[in-house]
Structure 1
Amino acid sequence: MEDSNEEFEPLFDYSRVQPFNVVCLDDDSQDESPVFCPKKRKLTDAKEKKKEQDVDSKDVKVIDCDDKEDDEEDWLPPPPKNVNNCSKTLEEDSTLKALRLKRAELASLAQSAEEVVRAVEESVRKDLSASLQYSPKSDTKQPLEPPHEREKLVISIQDKDGTKQFRVYMDDKFERLFKMYADRIKLDVKNLVFCFDGDKVSPVATPASLGMEENDIIEVHVKSS
């Protein structure tokens, strides 16, 4: 047996291994309290503390230092949701306002046009009523007679040089005829004497007043100086 122990050497050197504090279970030491290894207690305490820290870390809410800045920013008014929407709303409001003004202007113009048409209709109605009430005597009035044509005749004036003919109106005064003759022979009418049927013809007389006919002759004499 001893030879066998010598033949088999231990594979490991257990001299460095420190044994645990083993609880003695002998009868002599039953009244004594068990003694534990202090190192093992430290390890156990460390594990328990670690477990407590893990549990506490789960329950404890982590507060970020940046939360203070967020709280301060919460006091500021929130930024507008959408500036583009506000600008679009303002543009729509201005467009609607312009459309309302344009519609009001068109309505005013339409009302003015209606008033003008109404005034014209009223004027036409008044004119028509006045024309219907006009006296019918104006319709039965005799039309104006055309102006009476003035009768003309040819009168011959005879002097020492021959006969000269003039066409005059029956109601013209001889004064005009005498002047025409004097201008033609280049003499003063005051130096001429006109006679018809032996009687002196007055310048204010007319062919009709003397009863003259076509181609009657008036004699002319020059006064002696």
Structure 2
Amino acid sequence: MMDETEELEPLFDYSRVQPLNPIDLDDDLDDYEDVICVDSKKRKISQAVGNEKTNGKRVTVVDIEDDDWLPPPPKIASNAQKTIDEDSTLKKLRLKKQELASFAESAKELLKDVEESSKLEIDNSLQSSVVGVDEKSTEHSERAKIVVSVQDKDGTKQIRMFVDDKFERIVKTYAEKIKCNLKQIVLSFDGDKISSSETPASLGMEDDDIIGVHVKSS
């Protein structure tokens, strides 16, 4: 039968259709050097998953949400501030040291002045004392003395005294001795009553002249 021997023409002629270039998934992956892995929950640096090259250069992929990729802040400012603070502290310490040194120097000068003033006062005091002693010694050496015989009812006693001393000393001595009033003691010279305010010089007395002592009844 013709129908059996004759080949049937296909309804669609596939020879006229140009085939598309097939895509090989394995080859397509080779065209990419790195694959970026992004984790929306954690920030981290993405690492390359391939070692292939793209145009002869390696591409570094970073996660833009991570701040670690930023360069650290410059340390010059902090170092400069630290240097300024240190310089300010050192300056204050130097000023304090200068103040203390000036105070110590002033105290030293003041102490020196006080010591010199005290030494000068002591020297002047000693000099005045020496001068006073010398004057008294000279005065005493220049003052003449006399030996007076004092005669009372018990007998005669000799007393050495300065010629300018008053007889009141004799009166006080006798009043204390016999426990009586000063007004009860009466002195006499050459038979005449004399006052206790007189002196051997005022009476022109000489050595061994006699002063009589009498006690009046109260």
Normalised to the residue count of structure 2, the TM-score between the two structures is 0.49
Structure with greater Cα Rg: 1
| TM-score (normalised: structure 1) | 0.47
